[in-house]
Structure 1
């Protein structure tokens, strides 16, 4: 019989503390790179604010209007798996997708329900973290070479003595509920602690705070309090005040007589609040608001953000101010230096507790961005383990190696295209066909009554747009350029343009500039519309700033120039997603058996092949959603797997004697990044990709094909082996 708490010691190369998006992504990323990793969280489920305990949906750059900016990498792979396994985006199954991914990952161990409360340190270096696992009543002592604080509150950093910034005012926390409509009357008797109706009445209408019986899940984000308190020390009090508010709100919905809510009930109320803000650790560099707005390119860019500068008043629901202010921003880079403080050589940060000034924090805090920071931190730790150096001591060349690994693992680094020893850059590419880039037949129109935008890949060539007018009128638009288009933040203003157009359909010549995306922001005109096309070409979009539903404009270049847009050679240009150009190959619509071939004049030694496919980076992939979604979210749900994602294909590696060395028969693919490996480097003269099906589209798309002599995991293994041998 055990009469005391036992201590269990665990040793690893990396201990990740915190099981939210940042921690989960970091742990999987590190383990995939060959790092022996332990993931520790104080919750019974993974996912942090996105879990079934709290139920905030995940959003990021694409959700804030940055087109083709949906976050990929390790986090993107989890979201695509969730889309396939959980097409209704049920938050309960999202928990299981994350748990499944962690449990099946080699070199990754998991400890749930474990609260880390103590550190063992040697100077400024952490030797071990200690905490009690509530379910087993064991004291866990986790020893590691590196520690990653992904706790959100910066728990490890605070315990270690890392300076941090907090308050005095913060954004509050939110407690959500989910509703269900029954086929019978469901009475509601409020608990005695519920906020009275008079109090709820005073809240409604202030700063855009609206209420209806259909609101559910993240629609309830404005049920927010506690920003004017200490969001850590006063967390229990904030929790109770939020429950008081939530019960008062539901009582108002049910019993005020102002809503058709007789048959509605609550099927769930949050187990604990979703926290927006607490500690921000002081790191080697603190990201600034002007860095975000100016889209600053850092030499050590590690990941990206793109959510609004989204700030909420500290008084939350009781504030007279607007419930939030959301200026849009472009996609921006965040440097590695925001992930560590050089005085603490083996402690890094990921998630909302990274180093940012508050003006930038209001953008970097959202979960998709937090997840990317986890992958970046894990990759930096991998480089530190390889070189036996602390993050601050890495050379520029070693930082570039970490960036190249991130790039290879499908991270967008705004303004940077790393050199990563890709043999595909040396090959000749041929294809059975390539899309000609022409506009499709007219399918309808987009009214300019409220204005609107038209964006398109820039070429140094004449460009034309078809418009329609009810009567003779004048169109006005501003011309902008950017690396990525945006539905509300249009980039650099270049010039203003006017066109006199007759009644009916007509074609106007519009400005264009090569090496970037072009956007025309049209002035409101109730008599005019942009003609839209049937086909969907990557990069050609029209829409409105307050809508996430886009169409394709009837816009085109001369035939010779348009053929370059989706040309075969794009798969070897080094870019793996939309940035300044579409950067992909697309087969022709009448090509029933699309095929790509890479060939080398002299055979090259290849161990690993990577294919970067098209999962429709234009549309969001949230972790979960409810049946009812308020229009203010500016969200368009997916209706199935991405149509242009390749579902089945055969990849064949051929040697210099024209004999197949390896054949990969890929079926039921659901991922953007395919990684194909040989047991050892083999001399290959040709690679063929025969596409058999997509998830619904008539054409196939591939952004990039890359070929490498080594797998990423071999780098760390080789360094460790050399050390054992004394080399």
Structure 2
């Protein structure tokens, strides 16, 4: 006999993937009663141990673009306690599931309803009043009433049942003028995938293909059509099927067909392919997914439809609440049944190919209006069902991007509840509240900085025991990376295309200007080579324009045969810089193509200083996985000043936005905030350096970022001396919020760093202080 119960909340979030999870946690942390409804027994959606797609996002293509907020907290915590290595697909054990479950259990105001499928939605006067979920294991229907609802179901189930307008399939190119759209519209969508994982058992093991599985025997299907099994341990994203089936209604048919094909792929690798047969000799099939991961189905129409043009626009959205940076990743309809796989893979991942250059976008802002449903007054959405065209979705659909969209939607819902405003009004009437709360909660917005009037740190004078200076970086420099993996496949130092290096410089009344720039070059020719060089100012770390319109100096460098430091007298006065940030910003040195000459990489990554190459005429792309080319500058630049921690951006962007202590000075090192008059301090927010340069799947097991502060003490000035308020040991998180045991009236606050997780410098991106302890 079915039981029927009724529960009421402030906010109901439907869908427990990363978008729904971050939305629910964000809103609950803001004090609202939240119910998170999930149709599976575990949280995480496609990232869970049921599907095993590792969350990835903007950092795959852009340096220092790693997503923050709730997602960052999850990924950092999981890596610190998980023994299992990551690879792109097929990995994810229950430690990841438990990380989400643990956070949910530790979040006040958050109720979980797992194994519950939403199958009814009640709408009155253009407003959702309740959703009803069926929990088969408990034979219970639960009617969930709320003021605001979030549809993070992926398939847009809530919105569809509420009668909202939605799109599916491909728009014709003529409708929005999107270059990546097909000439004719179609119902085709990107397909579903399952993955597999193997285990090295230490001795040869056989595999016999079941008679009902698909058998492969054509090498061209894999190596000429973009389905290369790079990592023989498992995967692969290209085990995908969609067309001719419907990704929702034919999901079970697709699941069975994917199982047949996945076994066939493993049989090919294990028993037939001469390139992989030996490498898989001792590998046994350990896991085969049976919950297909979906890429695309319904897209709910919102107040703004995100198109391809929004992925490359120059003008920021006023209601920017998240960002994207994945490429326009449109998988070929049909997947394994199509003539080729995803276009950039079919082109062999050639970074200069048309497929790669035209798909490269971002980082770009995402507007809140694309997360607000237009047809009901109290519904937001996040995830792959947001308001976007098929092409627009091709970039924003990846999990790390959907996660920060989720936190944005949850935050917007919480602001709507607190301000008692309809969600349709939030993008205009309360967008600043949403943006500032997101920044306060550890998210990053490319075009918004901290202007929080309640943040006492913004009015403080900031000093430190020491500070690092920028003199450049050389091959012999040591970088403590803690095992952080780098993909070196496209990192040759030869100048096969124009190459650029970002240089953090000091600005302000006491800035010394830039006298010389030296680069370490190795000429492999038997004659001198001349290389045109240009020094120009750039707006930020993702300014990929080859010509920025702000040239500071130009010359031609002569490189003799062999390896040489080549010095250029640039003679740039500080007054020549168009000051964008108080205390620091970026210039960039560009060397023209010279195929016989190698620009040697530095032995470390200079914090906040990466390089790029000309991918297509006039447009650059990050070089390698984010590396620093060998260069020296004079005079030394104060690029890591204490004032950086109150500039308003908690990561390298328009400047390094980081205080770093002098690595030649031993720890302890301290950072101090002082006020003219005593202030009451009840809460302190600390953002340490780390976890931003490379993707999550590049990090090893049980990992802590060496840049992150490990042991530290907060002190307050009592008028007679420093008093310890709290001490933290064995920290691995980049963001810590400390509510003091009781508010303290003080004229100064000091952070004393006793140890990092390996870096010789203490490094802090941001400090915030608030009067109360909430």
Query: Does TM-score exceed 0.5, indicating one fold?
Result: yes
Runs of at least 5 residues in structure 2 that lack an aligned partner in the other structure: 170-186, 345-355, 478-490, 508-512, 614-620
The whole-number CA distance in structure 2 between the counterparts of 1:416 and 1:142 is 36
Deviations 1:282-315 (CA, angstroms, capped at 9, x unpaired): 0001112112112441111111111111111102
**Which of 328, 332, 341 in structure 1 is aligned with 2:364?**
332
* Residue number in structure 2 paired with 1:626: none
The whole-number CA distance in structure 1 between the counterparts of 2:566 and 2:281 is 55
The whole-number CA distance in structure 2 between the counterparts of 1:196 and 1:533 is 48
Shift of 1:320: 2.1
* Residue number in structure 1 paired with 2:74: 78
**Which of 304, 311, 316 in structure 2 is aligned with 1:285?**
304
* Residue number in structure 2 paired with 1:426: 459
Find the residue that maps to 1:197 and give its secondary structure.
coil
TM-score (norm 2): 0.83
Structure-2 change in CA distance of 1:519 and 1:318 (3 Å): farther
* Residue number in structure 2 paired with 1:23: 20
Structure-2 change in CA distance of 1:336 and 1:549 (3 Å): closer
The whole-number CA distance in structure 1 between the counterparts of 2:192 and 2:409 is 26
Find the residue that maps to 1:39 and give its secondary structure.
strand
Find the residue that maps to 1:425 and give its secondary structure.
helix
* Residue number in structure 2 paired with 1:91: 92
The whole-number CA distance in structure 2 between the counterparts of 1:257 and 1:671 is 44
Deviations 1:573-602 (CA, angstroms, capped at 9, x unpaired): 222111111011100012222111111111
The whole-number CA distance in structure 2 between the counterparts of 1:208 and 1:223 is 12
Contact preservation (8 Å) 2:203, 2:282: yes
Q: Does 1:648 align with 2:722?
A: no
The whole-number CA distance in structure 2 between the counterparts of 1:395 and 1:242 is 42
Contact preservation (8 Å) 2:529, 2:558: yes
Q: Name the count of aligned residue pairs.
A: 690
Shift of 1:332: 0.9
Q: Does 1:475 align with 2:505?
A: no
**Which of 533, 548, 557 in structure 2 is aligned with 1:499?**
557
* Residue number in structure 1 paired with 2:753: 691
Find the residue that maps to 2:458 and give its secondary structure.
helix
Shift of 1:225: 1.1
Q: Does 1:384 align with 2:403?
A: no
**Which of 680, 683, 699 in structure 2 is aligned with 1:605?**
680
Shift of 1:477: 5.7
Q: Does 1:559 align with 2:635?
A: yes
Contact preservation (8 Å) 2:201, 2:282: yes
Shift of 1:262: 4.1
Contact preservation (8 Å) 2:53, 2:92: no
The whole-number CA distance in structure 2 between the counterparts of 1:476 and 1:114 is 64
Shift of 1:539: 2.1
Shift of 1:487: 11
Matches within 5 A, 1:311-350: 311-325=330-344, 326=356, 327-350=359-382
* Residue number in structure 2 paired with 1:590: 664
Shift of 1:540: 2.2
Structure-2 change in CA distance of 1:484 and 1:239 (3 Å): farther
**Which of 436, 456, 459 in structure 1 is aligned with 2:503?**
456
Contact preservation (8 Å) 2:79, 2:699: no
* Residue number in structure 2 paired with 1:394: 426
* Residue number in structure 2 paired with 1:234: 250
Find the residue that maps to 2:5 and give its secondary structure.
strand
Matches within 5 A, 1:250-289: 250-256=266-272, 258=274, 259-260=277-278, 261-289=280-308
The whole-number CA distance in structure 2 between the counterparts of 1:589 and 1:707 is 27
**Which of 295, 303, 307 in structure 1 is aligned with 2:326?**
307
The whole-number CA distance in structure 1 between the counterparts of 2:301 and 2:222 is 38
Structure-2 change in CA distance of 1:267 and 1:547 (3 Å): farther
Structure-2 change in CA distance of 1:151 and 1:654 (3 Å): same
Q: Does 1:204 align with 2:200?
A: no
* Residue number in structure 1 paired with 2:480: none
**Which of 133, 143, 146 in structure 2 is aligned with 1:144?**
146
**Which of 123, 126, 131 in structure 2 is aligned with 1:124?**
126
Deviations 1:541-580 (CA, angstroms, capped at 9, x unpaired): 34776864444333344335x02x1011111222211111
The whole-number CA distance in structure 2 between the counterparts of 1:52 and 1:569 is 43
TM-score (norm 1): 0.89
Contact preservation (8 Å) 2:63, 2:626: no
Runs of at least 5 residues in structure 1 that lack an aligned partner in the other structure: 623-634, 715-727
How big is the alpha-carbon RMSD for the aligned residues of Structure 1 and Structure 2? 2.8
Deviations 1:421-454 (CA, angstroms, capped at 9, x unpaired): 1211211112110112223554289732544542
Shift of 1:122: 1.6
The whole-number CA distance in structure 1 between the counterparts of 2:550 and 2:699 is 31
Deviations 1:687-725 (CA, angstroms, capped at 9, x unpaired): 0111000000110001111112346xx6xxxxxxxxxxx
Q: Does 1:7 align with 2:10?
A: no
Contact preservation (8 Å) 2:611, 2:622: no
Structure-2 change in CA distance of 1:216 and 1:524 (3 Å): farther
